[in-house]
Every structure is written in structure tokens, then in C-alpha cells.
Amino acid sequence: MKAAHGVIALLVVVLWQAPSGPAFADGEQAVVEDAHVTVAELLADPDFSNLHGLLARAHGVVIVPQLFKAGFIIGGEAGRAVILARDPSSGAWSHPAFMDMASASIGLQIGAAETQLVLVIMTQAGMEAMLSDKIEVGADASVAAGPVGAAAKAATTSTEFNEDIYAYGTSEGLFAGISVEGAILIPDEDANHSYYGEPVTTREILQGDAVWNARADGLRELLESVI
């Protein structure tokens, strides 16, 4: 519970420093719809050509449509996310569960940025880590930047994955680069309850097929279309 409170506090701090304009999507359905747009845009980018192959073989995916990074000496990143799991036998994707993502840093920095982020979970160990009460990316599950450009084309046919998670993203703003090492992900059970109309855990959504919401079908169908 203390960790969850820490994430909420960091969300407030980062959003206070973030650029003007809409912060998070308004409500759970808008987060799902923004996640759909994020995946579609990254899949259409030739620099991320390897993302297709990874999603087609993934155990799961975390999508953060708007990850805000802001700082003045003390910096941080925060955003709302959805996580979905892929059935390895059928290729079908689960309904989404909601998460909060946040990280903090201290150092000489000033500026703000907004990132679209996709974390492709390639191992069962990485998926199990995501189902815990809290995950620290890079500690509880290994992470690497997804190959881009020429490196992505060279890796398109690769069948060996040395990391639990591969991160893809696009960033706009004064900060350069995308790093998720040390970021914390925490399930948002209140959002799950709001979206499905009953209390339900992340594991029940991803593995138990306990609930459904037809408004998430667009995102699920997009992921299932990736080959």
C-alpha cells in the first residue's frame, strides 16, 4: 500500500511539471483507446519493424500511451498503462488490466517530455513478474531497448530472446532517449473495478477470463492481427 501511495504522489508531481495540454486520458476506456492508437502508430513505423515479430510470439504486452517525464533537479516519469496476455496456443489476447507506472531520479536536469511506450514481455518469468503486487523493471524482470532501424531488420527472424522485456517507444520533448530501468509498475485495482463493474485482480483478467468488456475488442483484435 505504501508503494501504491508513492506512485500516486509521483504521478501528481510529474503531472504538475508536465507540459500544458491534456495529461492522462479521461477514464479507463480512453486509456484503452489511446493504447490502441499507440500500438498502431508504432507498428506502422518502419524503424520498429521487429515489433511485429515480437508481438506475434510475446507472452504479454504493457502499453503506456502517455508516459510523462518532467524534472527540475528532481525528476520523474509517470503514466497509466494497460497490460494484456497472449494465449500461446490460440494466439488470442486477453482483456486489458490497468496499471500505474512511475519512476524518480535526482540530478542536474530540466525539461519535460511525453513518451508512448510499449513493453513486450517475451518470457513466462517476465509475465509472472508482471502479475505480482509490484514490479521494478530491470530488477524483477530484465529489460532491453527493442532494436530499431537496421538493427530491427537484422533481428526480424531471431527466435532467441535474452531479456524478459523489450521496450519500444517514441518521445517528444527536451529529454533525449527512452529508459525504463528502475520504473515501478503497480496494478490499478480501482480502474479494473471501474472498467469491468466488479472487483477483479490482474491475474483473473489476464489468465482467468473472469470478466470481459466489448469496448476493448478493438485493441485485442489489433494485437491478434499482428503476424
pLDDT at 121: 95
Q: Which pLDDT score is estimated for 172?
A: 58
pLDDT at 3: 47
pLDDT at 134: 87
| Host domain of residue 205 | 2-224
Reported as type and span, the H/E element at residue 104 is strand 97-121
Cβ 212 vs Cβ 95: under 8 Å: yes
Model pLDDT, residue 37: 96
Q: Supply the pTM of this predicted model.
A: 0.79
Q: How far is CA 161 from the centre of its chain?
A: 19
Q: What is the DSSP string of 15-73?
A: HHHSPSS--S-SSHHHHHHHHHHHHHHHHH-GGGTHHHHHHHH-SEEEEEEEEEEEEEE
| Residues 146-180: tens digit of each pLDDT | 755 444 444 444 446 678 999 888 865 444 445 67
Distance spanning both ends of the chain, measured CA to CA? 39
Structurally, how many domains does the chain consist of? 1
- The tens-digit pLDDT sequence of the chain (227 residues) is 444 445 444 444 444 444 433 334 459 999 999 999 999 999 998 888 889 999 999 999 999 998 766 554 445 667 899 999 999 889 999 999 999 988 755 444 445 566 788 999 999 999 999 999 888 887 778 888 775 544 444 444 444 667 899 988 886 544 444 567 778 899 999 999 999 999 999 999 999 778 999 999 999 999 999 97
Residue 19: all three cell numbers together = 507540459
Q: Other CB atoms closer than 10 Å to residue 102's CB: what's the count?
A: 23
